[in-house]
């Protein structure tokens, strides 16, 4: 799949099935350019440790989406 800039993504119709591929490809392509600060790394480590201790805490994407759609 060819690279698409953000402006190109914004021009796609909402129902475009390629949307996730375009966004995912964009993120994957720039992932090497992302550098975390020590504070960001510490926060991610804290959250990962919390998840390891409490894997059932929180909500699944299906539950979150249902709550969002219920409010609309």
pLDDT digits (tens, 9 = 90+) for 1-23: 455 566 666 676 666 556 666 66
Which residues contact residue 36 at a Cβ distance below 8 angstroms, ignoring those fewer than 6 apart? 44
Residue 1 domain-assigned? no
Q: What is the rounded distance in angstroms from the CA atom of residue 49 to the CA atom of residue 19?
A: 32
Residue 59 domain-assigned? yes
Which residues contact residue 6 at a Cβ distance below 8 angstroms, ignoring those fewer than 6 apart? 26
| Residue 67 belongs to domain spanning | 6-71
Residue 42 domain-assigned? yes
pLDDT digits (tens, 9 = 90+) for 28-47: 556 566 788 999 999 999 99
Scanning the chain, the segments in alpha helix (DSSP H) are 6-11, 19-30, 38-53, 61-71
Residue 51 domain-assigned? yes
Residue 66 domain-assigned? yes
48 phi/psi in degrees, rounded to 5: -65, -40
pLDDT for the residue numbered 34: 72
Please state the domain count of the chain: 1
């Amino acid at each position: 799949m060819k690279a698409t800039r953000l402006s190109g993504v914004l021009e796609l119709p909402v129902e475009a099935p390629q949307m996730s591929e375009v966004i995912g490809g964009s993120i994957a392509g720039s992932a090497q350019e992302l550098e975390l600060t020590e504070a960001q790394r510490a926060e991610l480590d804290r959250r990962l440790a919390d998840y390891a201790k409490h894997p059932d805490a929180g909500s699944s994407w299906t539950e979150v989406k249902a709550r969002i759609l219920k409010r609309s």
